Amino acid sequence: MMSIFWSVFFAAFALGNESTTGNITVVAKIAEPGQGQVHIALFRDAASFPKNKEACQGIKLPAEAASLQHTFRGLPFGTYAVAVFQDLNSNGKLDRNFFGIPSEPYAFSNNPVVKWQEPTFQEAAFVLNQAQMQIDIQLKSWKNY
């Protein structure tokens, strides 16, 4: 009789304590391995997207291999978008030519085609509603979009 009580108690306790946070692992396929750094920025809303300095979280990693990954941990469930660029000359910014066209590889979550304009938040957005999520992103140079 006592074991049934504890089983029901622990089942009820577990249901009442469901997690409302998760982890997002970004896996980026690098356009030019071995050159510069890769900047990964995670955004929570359209107002800040895709301005890297206003990201809710961001990281800079060396572009040593053909792909790299980073996990953003303990994020509240909700809608997010990711922007990534490869800073070939390590100057800390996405370089652009005279016409404003990016001259370094870049990409966004959902891998939208972004040749003539940046995607909207909605085009790059995804919903985190589970403990673990993986986002695969393929960096490309402008001419390859």
The tens digit of pLDDT for each residue in 80-97 reads 999 999 999 999 999 999
State the pLDDT at residue 61: 92
State the pLDDT at residue 115: 79
In a domain, 77, yes or no: yes
User: Is the CB of residue 69 less than 8 Å from the CB of residue 27?
Assistant: yes
In a domain, 6, yes or no: no
The CATH code of the domain that includes 64 is 2.60.40.10
SS percent in the chain: helix, strand, coil, step 5: 15, 40, 45
In a domain, 57, yes or no: yes
In a domain, 14, yes or no: no
Q: Tell me whether the omega of the peptide bond preceding residue 50 falls within 30 degrees of 0, making it cis.
A: yes
In a domain, 111, yes or no: yes
In a domain, 15, yes or no: no
State the pLDDT at residue 52: 53
The tens digit of pLDDT for each residue in 21-79 reads 999 999 999 989 999 999 999 999 888 887 655 567 788 999 999 999 999 999 999 99
DSSP assignment letter at 53: G
Q: What is the mean pLDDT of residues 125-130?
A: 96
Give the Cα separation of 12 and 134 in Å (integer): 30
Report residue 58 CA to chain centroid gap.
Answer: 9
User: Which pLDDT band, with edges at 50, 70 and 90, does 18 fall under?
Assistant: low
The whole domain housing 110 covers: 20-144
Q: What is the mean pLDDT of residues 116-145?
A: 93
Q: In the chain, how many domains are there? A: 1
State the pLDDT at residue 47: 84
Give the Cα separation of 45 and 116 in Å (integer): 22
In a domain, 5, yes or no: no
In a domain, 11, yes or no: no
**CA dihedral (76, 40, 24, 45) positive or negative:** positive
